[in-house]
Amino acid sequence: MLAKIEQLLQEVESMTASNTEELEALRIKYLGKKGAINALMTDFRNVPAEKKKEVGMKLNELKSRTQERIAALKEANESQDNGISELDLTRTAYPIKLGTRHPLTIVRNKIIDIFSRMGFTIAEGPEVEDDLHVFTSLNFAADHPARDMQDTFFIDVNKEDVTKNVILRTHTSSVQVRTMEKTQPPIRIICPGRVYRNEAISYRAHCFFHQVEGLYIDKNVSFSDLKQVLLQFSKEMFGAETKIRLRPSYFPFTEPSAEMDISCDICGGKGCPFCKYTGWVEILGCGMVDPNVLEACGIDSKIYSGYAFGMGVERITNLKYKVKDLRMFSENDIRFLKEFEMAY
Ligand code: DAH
């Protein structure tokens, strides 16, 4: 009998079960009413008295060891089951959350894309500038109000030479100057970038915003070239039906200068509150580069002429997506940004 117990002990130690059915079968085989251990218990009666103690102890050991092994196998199986349920292939897929591009980035990229296809390349320049590149070379008179502290952020004031004043650029026209200083025509560039103005922040003004400047310098460039490029841009940006209108204006760095309106795309030009019942909305400033600017940048104004234009990215974005409050662009409100999920 001892040999039989020993054999069962070995069996129990090496038994395995990969699922609950197999485990239950083992339990019945060893611990069930008609199982191997109960059968030994019945046989125990026939064990001679002097051997009863030894055999009894061995039998008890077998029983408790079997119970332990079965419990251990059950636990192992259960933790494995959990692993399987995590891999439930019938579950619906997790929605993968993608971020969105900022509306200003979407519109800036679109502007870049349109002008790139017309042969313009991108030029960039510093945001911390000097007076020479932001004002003096662009033909701003010494007493021009834009040079005033009220409009411009000053970083360093140079008492001997105002052209060396270090300021935050107030427009991307400074990149025109930097490009003309180091390149001879033909020049055909757009300059996207951030600009700064000393303004009180409200729904319609901010202390920083974004512009895209354009510049084309070559022999025989005329105002009609400018007009054609801007018309093409407007149609691509706002739709093929869009009309443009140029109104005479003034900028120190262009002569003649103009402001350009597009037909209001809300009322189609009939007049509505958005266009203040004029049928037109202003989108940019432009003109023929003033010969003084060409000369200040080392380009011979008797040989070359050119046009320039400058537009606000926020302004175009407002028109395209009807954003009423400029501050939304810099607040990072996820509900606002998510509205542009499908915009690009
Ligand atoms: N620099 C002007 C501004 O910030 C915009 C502008 C107007 C740029 C006319 C130009 C231009 O190049 O020709 O308001």
Written as one string, the DSSP assignment of 62-120 is: HHHHHHHHHHHHHHHHHHHHHHHHHT-TTSPPPPPPP----HHHHHHHHHHHHHHHTT-
Tens digit of each residue's pLDDT (9 = 90 or more) over 106-127: 999 999 999 999 999 999 999 9
Would the pTM count as exceeding 0.75?
no
pLDDT tens digits, 240-270: 999 999 999 999 999 999 999 999 877 888 8
Count CA atoms within 13 Å of residue 287 on its CB side: 20
Query: pLDDT tens digits, residue range 192-219?
Result: 999 999 999 999 899 999 999 999 999 9
CA distance 293 to 295: 5
Q: Identify the CA nearest to 154 among candidates 143, 141, 165.
A: 165
Q: What is the pLDDT of residue 85?
A: 56
pLDDT value at position 19? 84
| pLDDT value for 274 | 80
244 vs 231: CA distance, rounded Å: 6
Q: What is the pLDDT of residue 299?
A: 98
Q: Mean pLDDT for the chain?
A: 91
Question: How many angstroms is it from 43 CA to the middle of ligand 1?
Answer: 108
pLDDT tens, position by position, 160-171: 999 999 999 999
Q: What is the pLDDT of residue 80?
A: 65
Q: Of 159, 107, 91, 108, nearest to 131 (Cα)? A: 159
Q: pLDDT-derived band of residue 229, with 50, 70 and 90 as boundaries?
A: very high
Mutate to test the pocket of ligand 1, among 144, 173, 313 (most ligand atoms within 8 A of CB): 173
C-alpha 3/C-alpha 302 separation (Å) is: 118
- Give yes or no for residue 289 CB within 6 A of ligand 1: no
**What is the C-alpha to C-alpha distance for residues 23 and 28, in angstroms, rounded to an integer?**
9
For the four alpha carbons of 172, 288, 314 and 197, in that order, the dihedral sign comes to: positive
Q: What is the pLDDT of residue 93?
A: 77
Q: Is the CB of 173 under 6 A from ligand 1?
A: yes
Examine the pLDDT at 230 and tell me if it is beyond 90: yes
Q: What is the pLDDT of residues 71-100, one digit of tens each?
A: 988 888 777 655 555 677 777 777 777 788
Question: What DSSP line would sit under 121-133, residue for residue?
Answer: EE----SEEEHHH
DSSP state of 151: T
| Pocket flag, ligand 1, residue 234 (CB < 6 Å) | no
- Find all residues with CB under 8 Å of 340, minimum gap 6, and list them: 100, 101, 102, 103, 106, 321
